[in-house]
C-alpha cells in the first residue's frame, strides 16, 4: 500500500455500504413520526388552551396602554379609557374645549368590543366598579374616564379582570408610574 510523505494512505478506500448513514426509508419514518407528534401537540394546545382569546385580549390591551403611556409623555397629551363590561373606548382630552373627545386618528384607539363570552370587571381604590353593559355612542364624553394616562407619565392605578364563562381569568394591573402587568387570576 503506497503511503504519502505525511504518513497517510493515498490509495482510495472502498466505502463500506453498511456504514453509509441512514436510508431514505428511515429518514421518512422519522419525519413522519415528528410530524404526527407536532400535529398532536398543535391540536391539543387548541383544545386545552381555551384562554387564548382571553390572553390575546389582555396582551392587546397591555400593549395599547404601554403605547399610550409613551405617546402621552412624548406628545404631551392626556388619554382616558372608559370601560364597559363588554369593551372599552379611548378618549383624548381637548384642553381648549375642556372635554374628552373620541380618539379617531388611530384605528387601534377606536371603540373595542370583546368577543363573547369575554367580560371585564374593574377595581379601583379597592372598590368594584359597576360597569355599563356597553359603551354609549354620545360624544363628547361628559364624564371622567375610568383610567387616565397623563402627559406627566402618571396613570390611574387599576385592576382589570378579563374573564370567560369557562373560568379563565386574567388580571391586568395598572400602576401610578404607567406600568401595566398581566397575571393569571384564580377566581
| pTM of the predicted protein model | 0.69
**126: its cell numbers:** 379597592
Cα 27–Cα 28–Cα 30 angle in degrees, nearest 5: 65
Model pLDDT, residue 103: 83
* pLDDT for 28 beyond 70: yes
Note the pLDDT of residue 78.
95
Chain segment 63-86, per-residue pLDDT in tens: 999 999 999 999 999 999 999 999
How far, in Å, are 1, 78, 146, 185 from residue 167 at the CA level? 78, 35, 25, 10
Q: 52-184 has which CATH code? A: 3.55.40.10
Report pLDDT for 186. 63
CA distance 100 to 104: 12
Amino acid at each position: 500500500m503506497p503511503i504519502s510523505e505525511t504518513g497517510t494512505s493515498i490509495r482510495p478506500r472502498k466505502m463500506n455500504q453498511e456504514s453509509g448513514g441512514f436510508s431514505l426509508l428511515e429518514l421518512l419514518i422519522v419525519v413522519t413520526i415528528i410530524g404526527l407528534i407536532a400535529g398532536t401537540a398543535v391540536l391539543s394546545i387548541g383544545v386545552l388552551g381555551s384562554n387564548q382569546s382571553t390572553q390575546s385580549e389582555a396582551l392587546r390591551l397591555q400593549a395599547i396602554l404601554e403605547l399610550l403611556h409613551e405617546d402621552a409623555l412624548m406628545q404631551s397629551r392626556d388619554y382616558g379609557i372608559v370601560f364597559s363590561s363588554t369593551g372599552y373606548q379611548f378618549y383624548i382630552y381637548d384642553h381648549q374645549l375642556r372635554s374628552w373627545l373620541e380618539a379617531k386618528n388611530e384605528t387601534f384607539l377606536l371603540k373595542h368590543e370583546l368577543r363573547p363570552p369575554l367580560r371585564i370587571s374593574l377595581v379601583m381604590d379597592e372598590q368594584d366598579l359597576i360597569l355599563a353593559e356597553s359603551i354609549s355612542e354620545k360624544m363628547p364624553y361628559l364624564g371622567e374616564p375610568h383610567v387616565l394616562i397623563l402627559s406627566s407619565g402618571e396613570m390611574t392605578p387599576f385592576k382589570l379582570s378579563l374573564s370567560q364563562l369557562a373560568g379563565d381569568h386574567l388580571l391586568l394591573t395598572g400602576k401610578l408610574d404607567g406600568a401595566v402587568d398581566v397575571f393569571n387570576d384564580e377566581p
